Structure 1
Amino acid sequence: MTKHQAPTPRSDAADVSEAGGVRSVQRAMDILSLLTDARPVVSIREIVDETGLAKTTVIRLVQTLEQVGLLWATAKGYTAGPGLWRWAHLARRAWELPPETQQLMRELAARQRETVNLYVARDIYRVCVAQQESPQPLRHVVQVGDELPMWAGASSKVLLRDASPALLTRVALSSPYGESHVDTLREWVDGVLKTGYATSAGEREPGLSAVAVPVTGRSVAVVAALSLSGPTIRFTDDRIADFIDDLKRVAARMSERGFDHPLASPA
């Protein structure tokens, strides 16, 4: 959608009929998601333009969010409210990895000089739950909490190792390739089962490569994927072999110490 193609406002009546349902909650979350580091304040006009909601609906939702402390009115618009502090504190305690695990990731990033990510599966998506950035100027970085598709990428292949046929089909249907992508997903899963790792090169983003290995739980089920990612030009065969060995050593230590995370599958 371009700036010149504003969405058609939804009727206020339709919103009222959904006021007690999931749709109104989703709309409120859509408003909150407009706030970013680059845009810490958002106006009513911006909310209307970007959500496509009627102005009266936006005003009602914003007033409710302000009343519960999730938004705060300023002279320039609305910003994150103080009520989010409590949620942020709870989220940090729940999401933050043990210091030992964080140290292992820091040391891995320092040795290999590429970005280290830890992903867990969430339905047909993978969620980045921890990261240590590469010390190099040219590097690959995602944000902690970002959801990425599972139909491509080294970490996705690892996380799908124990996936059911039904889940593989759903992941394939979410891809640009449709249901025919199931065969490719099965080949990737077989590869991880045989080798214990997965690689990718330009599958989701041109010029980006990654290597990933599984972090397992007590039942040896995959609970997370540990990866190194960066520009494809630096991922030579020799480097990839070194990445795999180092990743496997670190993942084994994580698995031995135990990996506990709210989004990790029960193991």
Structure 2
Amino acid sequence: MENTSGVGVLDKTALILGALEAGPTTLAGLVAATGLARPTAHRLALALERYRLVIRDMEGRFTLGPRLAELSAAVGEDRLLAAAGSVLARLRDATSESAQLYRRQAEEYVCVAAVERLHGLRDAVPVGVTLPMKVGSAAQVLLAWEEPERLYLGLRGARFTATALSGVRRRGWAQSVGEREPDVASVSAPVRGPSNRVVASVSVSGPIQRLTRQPGVHLSQAVVEAAARLTEALRYP
């Protein structure tokens, strides 16, 4: 084994991930590509699957998992946050509502950037606040494009349904009314990284009294345009 680190299990893990770079393969294929003993390759592949670094495709073959894309997206997080301030301010000015940027962290989502509305009652979500992935339009966006198994696991106990998420994917944006808080409505749209994976959600939120019970009718276009600008910033620095 060339270019070894001296840590056996790490070197073997790197061999497995390197073999999967060429595409999905069976356990026998992993053994052939890595030269590892079959029990060793199987044990390490299952361990990597536990951390979503490896998953199975529809044919049961091992393939690179979504966690790698998430880690890759995190490399661009500084670029995302650098662009967020001006994009959220522009969204706030276009809608006269508070605007936020959220990222998923395990079974929660966290506000990583926010701007308050300029006039009237200040109702922005503070940066650093974490919310459960069961409520809110941002949660819908962050879950809607997940692989099927993770999507359906995420729906357990959620205030929204699989049908609602299907609508999110079709429209390209989500709305919620009274999900996160009884008097709050919001509209969200996905920010995508270079691999086209959803890495964040742009949102506007405010009282239902102002946003109405159909906030997407008036706010979705501005939110989708803001999300597109952040997607552009990640793809073309």
Q: TM-score range by the shorter chain?
A: 0.5 to 0.7
Q: Distance in 1 between matches of 2:170 and 2:133?
A: 20
**C-alpha contact (below 8 Å) 1:196/1:213 kept by paired residues:** yes
Q: Which residue of 2 aligns with 1:111?
A: 94
Mapped partners of 1:152, 1:238: distance in 2: 17
Match of 1:163 in 2: 146
* C-alpha distance in 1 between matches for 2:145 and 2:105: 13
The count of corresponding residues between Structure 1 and Structure 2 is 160
- CA positional deviation for 1:103: 0.9
Distance 1:99 1:254 in 2: 10
Q: How high is the TM-score relative to the length of structure 1? A: 0.54
Residue type of the partner of 2:93?
A
How far apart in 2 are the matches of 1:238 and 1:205?
16
Counterparts of 2:202 and 2:194, CA distance in 1:
17
The equivalent residue for 1:121 is 104
Output the CA distance in 2 between the equivalents of 1:152 and 1:98: 24
In structure 2, what is the Cα distance between the partners aligned to 1:96 and 1:115?
A: 22
Residues 96-245 of structure 1 mapped to structure 2, 5 A cutoff:
97-173=80-156, 175=157, 184-236=160-212, 240-245=216-221
Which consecutive residues of structure 1, in runs of 5 or more, have no partner in the other structure?
A: 1-93, 260-267
Per-residue deviation at 1:203? 1.2
State how far apart, in whole Å, the 2-side matches of 1:153 and 1:238 are.
14
Gaps of 5+ in 2: 1-76
Change (3 A) 1:125 1:242: same
Q: TM-score, normalised by structure 2?
A: 0.60
Instruction: Note the aligned Cα RMSD (angstroms).
Output: 2.5
Deviations 1:108-150 (A, max 9, x none): 1122111101001111111110000112332432221111011
Deviation at 1:170, TM superposition (A): 4.3
